[in-house]
């Protein structure tokens, strides 16, 4: 037989006391001794009932108080984490503002460089772009008389530090490790006699994905798959080699117009993290070093904004933001009125608006794929290879 609970025993006792009282009240003749005996029995049973009730009530109060204390502790911890998160975002925002000011100064300086010859080999002809810690020029290889692209490192402070040279050199090392037709080809690396660190790459002709989105707005699933499948293919190979790009965005996806047609090229592996390498070129590939945030906040995954460990799926999140932007004509999270803190908070806490809210023509299964890439937890995102397989099917369909 199943043992009775304390509550069941209390109810049974209460019923028996009530029945005894009713029998006493219904009786017509009772001696004083009988009344005293009935009263003593009732009092004894009520005292037992009271003791059990107090015991259970005490247990309940203790449990409830414990739960209240736990809730208060959790609320305090949550408030503490919220404040730390706000402080982190404020610090990141200040660093980014500082980097933007340095970029503006460097941009003005680089306007005066066309005509300069680096190491008697490369003549800088015209500036064609900037980003990823440097300015890019169309240049002439004087010995071979052919055109190349030369990237000049943007120094911080008054001179190029060994840390920056190490990061810049990693761009060449990382890019050279990835022999893929959709990755930009790196031809040379050096430091000029005048102190400029530079990287020589194949010269591309065409436009960036940013230009494509700006010109055409929302793109079709087939066009999105056609453009992003090569990017996923490059990333899958890079991740397999232990290289994470860390700055996937429309400006770093180039639509090169070759004699054989359009070729998608992934640019700027200068921010790449070589996973497992404690040092590369004498410089630690740290996420943030000496007040420098690596990457672009609009496309940065939550784990990197929080300085948590990350892997190749951080690139998948960034590519998911790009994919969302290609379908919707706008990213899921934007900086409004220069509010960088609100943008970072959105990446950390907010769910992206449903994609079909901006583009009802997107098939539901495509929307689900995009939303999978934007999961806050990296483990819930597909890998670059899985995403490449999905995009290959979409491209065929």
CATH for the stretch 117-396: 1.10.510.10
Mean pLDDT by 10 residues, the chain (397 residues): 60 63 61 64 66 59 67 75 70 64 64 87 91 83 94 66 68 72 87 80 94 94 97 95 91 94 88 50 41 76 88 96 97 85 89 95 96 97 97 87
Q: How far apart are CA 200 and CA 143, in angstroms?
A: 14
pLDDT at 73: 77
pLDDT at 269: 74
pLDDT at 51: 66
Please list the active-site residues.
Answer: 247
pLDDT at 19: 67
Q: How many distinct helices (H) and strands (E) make up the chain? A: 10, 11
End-to-end alpha carbon distance in the chain: 65
pLDDT at 71: 72
pLDDT at 286: 46
The torsion region of residue 174 among left (phi > 0), alpha (psi -120 to 50) and beta comes to alpha
Q: How far apart are CA 69 and CA 288, in angstroms?
A: 38
Cα atoms in the Cβ-side hemisphere of radius 13 Å centred on 131: 15
Predicted TM-score (pTM) of this structure: 0.71
pLDDT at 326: 97
In the block, residue with structure tokens 């900086």:
335
Given a contact cutoff of 8 angstroms between Cβ atoms, the answer to whether 234 and 182 are in contact is: yes
Per-residue b or e along 322-344, where b marks 16 or more CB atoms closer than 10 Å to that residue's CB: bbbbbbbeebbbeeeeeebbbbb
């Amino acid at each position: 037989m199943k043992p009775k609970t304390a509550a069941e025993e209390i109810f049974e006792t209460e019923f028996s006391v009530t029945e005894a009282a009713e029998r006493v009240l219904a009786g017509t003749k009772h001696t004083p001794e009988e009344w005293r005996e009935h009263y003593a029995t009732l009092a004894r049973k009520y005292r037992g009932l009271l003791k059990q009730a107090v015991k259970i009530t005490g247990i309940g109060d203790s449990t409830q108080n414990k739960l209240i204390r736990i809730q208060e502790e959790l609320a305090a911890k949550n408030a503490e984490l919220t404040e730390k998160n706000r402080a982190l975002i404020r610090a990141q925002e200040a660093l980014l503002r500082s980097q933007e000011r340095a970029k503006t100064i460097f941009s003005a300086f680089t306007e005066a460089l066309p005509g300069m010859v680096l190491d008697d080999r490369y003549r800088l002809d015209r500036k064609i772009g900037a980003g990823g810690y440097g300015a890019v020029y169309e240049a002439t290889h004087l010995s071979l008389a052919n055109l190349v692209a030369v990237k000049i490192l943007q120094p911080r402070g008054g001179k190029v530090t060994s840390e920056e040279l190490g990061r810049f050199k990693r761009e060449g090392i990382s890019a050279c490790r990835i022999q893929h037709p959709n990755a930009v080809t790196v031809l040379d690396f050096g430091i000029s006699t005048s102190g400029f660190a530079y990287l020589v790459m194949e010269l591309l002709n065409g436009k960036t994905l940013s230009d494509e989105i700006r010109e055409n707005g929302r793109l079709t699933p087939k066009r999105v798959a056609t453009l992003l499948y090569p990017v996923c293919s490059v990333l899958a190979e890079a991740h397999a080699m232990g290289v994470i790009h860390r700055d996937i965005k429309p400006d770093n996806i180039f639509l090169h117009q070759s004699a054989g047609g359009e070729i998608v090229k992934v640019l700027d592996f200068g921010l790449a993290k070589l996973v497992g390498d404690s040092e590369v070129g004498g410089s630690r590939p740290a996420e943030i070093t000496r007040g420098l945030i690596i990457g672009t906040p609009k496309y940065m995954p939550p784990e990197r904004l929080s300085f948590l460990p990350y892997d190749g799926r951080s690139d998948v999140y960034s590519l998911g933001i790009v994919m969302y932007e290609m379908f919707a004509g706008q990213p899921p999270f934007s900086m409004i009125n220069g509010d960088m803190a609100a943008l970072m908070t959105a990446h950390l806490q907010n769910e992206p608006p449903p994609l079909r809210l901006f583009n009802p023509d997107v098939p539901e299964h495509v929307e689900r794929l995009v939303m999978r890439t934007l999961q806050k937890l990296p483990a819930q995102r597909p890998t670059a290879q899985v995403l490449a397989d999905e995009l290959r099917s979409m491209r065929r369909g």
